[in-house]
A and B are shown apart, each in its own frame.
Chain A
């Protein structure tokens, strides 16, 4: 009984904390998105969940970063409102290595929000109009303009909030609802195949009911995972179904289990159906492994951690997210086993009342 209570508590925890905790401040975009070297640039910086007016104007600092040791800092900064800054730069006349153009990272730091950054925020183009005839950019490059204003004394705010990621923004919360579905599906299918194996060892109708019940609950979580994934894909990839290899393989995996339920009911004698369904369940589980873990490695995927690693990359989580993610997996798993146990008890009563047990 305690585990049912625990599952409710953990799922409610994941739902409330996962949806209510705010994201860390971030930088959405800057404007303009291209600039030329040597120019006096007035850059608008748009923040997300930021409170620029909470900091003293002099404490806000903005950089355009070239690499870890090279950056150029804003000379004056004007706060327009909580989410908009106007930063004025005097851009150095040359790029540090004589390139034609490069992408710079925008970094904003102030005491109220801490540090936030936007990679590839602005494209800086080498201006060649002012060169004397015969001179080349590379002969004029001097690195010093880029190392005068180092990025230092950054404010790091430690509070309980979720990381800000470009493109996915608030949908990062779906990590607590989409990803655990696949964990639960795997646990339930493992339980199902375990009872199928036991049924072949000892043909007890209870093992068959358990195998079917866990497979049904697993299928339910498969559809939920597919659905939560489509909601997320619609937001992050622009459309709910992109024929991503993982979407396709998951759909096929669900087809296997739908076929399992058709097979169960294709026999006149329940004992024969149960036995052959148990055989197919084991066979299907074995082909699930290549579907979910071998084939996705062979093709490009839009999912994170796609190259060579079909699993969810551990670098995608920070400690705040782990504090919600792991309880969420446990909560949904217990809930899944609870649903399956209800299904199994219902089927047992149904079989008894029909004289099948």
Chain B
């Protein structure tokens, strides 16, 4: 474990993103367009908190998958090989997961702000909702980064990314919508959300462990 490598690789991710500003702008635009499409397609009807919740997480899900898919696809095989020579592959993965978590946090906050301007803000427990957003970004980032490292090796990576990750992401998504139902005050008064948070952290824990055990078998060609 060489943490200096990790810091440098993380800096590299930020630098790369800064140099290719059009890519991150594209994702931001994607979020804006999607929110407007979702709102207009629901015939500008009064969106009940229940529907608000579902649509919001769909927007975050699709924004996340599009933001993360490029993390392994954008860099050519030769350049990746170069990285693997210089640094521990696991550190490369860790830097990408951390970077994607930060990116998704920014994106989901942005989605939330835009979405609440357009469709209203029914959130009752703001603290819990922000916590849900953070936990969601973490879970999405781990699962999508790992799947994108597999999908990047194949010829049809965009399709594979979707079909490989949707079933895997479902337990996380269900727990997140459940948690945000608490934040929206849609749950019965005596129900508690401790178990949902524990479940979410447990799933994240399983995924992160597996990711680090399995990644060495992915990058070697």
Contacts and interface: CB of A to CB of B under 8 A. Distances in A.
B168 A276 contact: no
Nearest to A266: B154
Tell me if B's interface is mostly helix, strand, loop or mixed.
helix
Contact of A298 (B153, B196, B206): B196
A130 to B, nearest CB: 44
Interface string A233-272: 0000000000000000000110110110011001110001
Contacts of B20: none
A295 B199 CA distance: 9
A295 B171 contact: yes
B57 interface: no
B217 A275 contact: yes
Q: Is the interface of A mostly helix, strand, loop or mixed?
A: helix
Given A286-B207, A298-B174, A276 B167 contact: no
Contact of A263 (B150, B170, B218): B150
Nearest to B166: A255
Given A252-B170, A295-B171, A262 B214 contact: no
Interface string A188-212: 0000000000001000000000000
Contacts of B196: 298
A198 to B, nearest CB: 12
Interface stretch (B26-34, B62-70, B120-128, B156-164): B156-164
B37 to A, nearest CB: 26
B72 interface: no
Given A266-B154, A266-B155, A290-B203, A278 B168 contact: no
A294 B207 CA distance: 15
A284 interface: yes
Q: Which of B167, B170, B171, B175 has the most CB of A within 10 A?
A: B167
A295 B174 contact: yes
B118 interface: no
A266 B150 CA distance: 11
A290 B199 contact: yes
A298 B210 contact: no
B146 A287 contact: no
A282 interface: yes
Interface string A290-314: 1100110010000000000000000
Contacts of A259: 160, 163-164, 167
Nearest to A276: B150
A337 interface: no
A249 to B, nearest CB: 8
A200 B214 CA distance: 9
Nearest to B154: A266
Contacts of B202: 290, 294
A164 interface: no
Contacts of A182: none
B114 interface: no
A286 B153 contact: no
Given A259-B163, A298-B178, A283 B170 contact: no
A291 B199 contact: no
Given A266-B155, A272-B153, A279-B217, A287 B167 contact: yes
A332 interface: no
Given A262-B160, A278-B217, A291-B170, A298 B175 contact: yes
Given A266-B160, A279-B214, A298-B196, A284 B168 contact: yes
A255 B167 contact: yes
A221 interface: no
A63 interface: no
Given A267-B154, A272-B153, A276-B153, A283 B214 contact: yes
A291 B203 CA distance: 10
Given A259-B164, A266-B160, 15 more contacts: A253-B167, A259-B167, A263-B150, A263-B160, A263-B164, A266-B155, A266-B156, A276-B218, A278-B217, A279-B150, A291-B170, A291-B171, A294-B202, A298-B178, A298-B195
Interface of A: 200, 252-253, 255-256, 258-259, 262-263, 266-268, 272, 275-276, 278-280, 282-284, 286-287, 289-291, 294-295, 298
Interface of B: 146, 150, 153-156, 160, 163-164, 166-168, 170-171, 174-175, 178, 195-196, 199, 202-203, 206-207, 210, 214, 217-218, 221
8 contacts: A255-B166, A263-B164, A267-B154, A279-B218, A286-B206, A286-B207, A295-B171, A298-B199
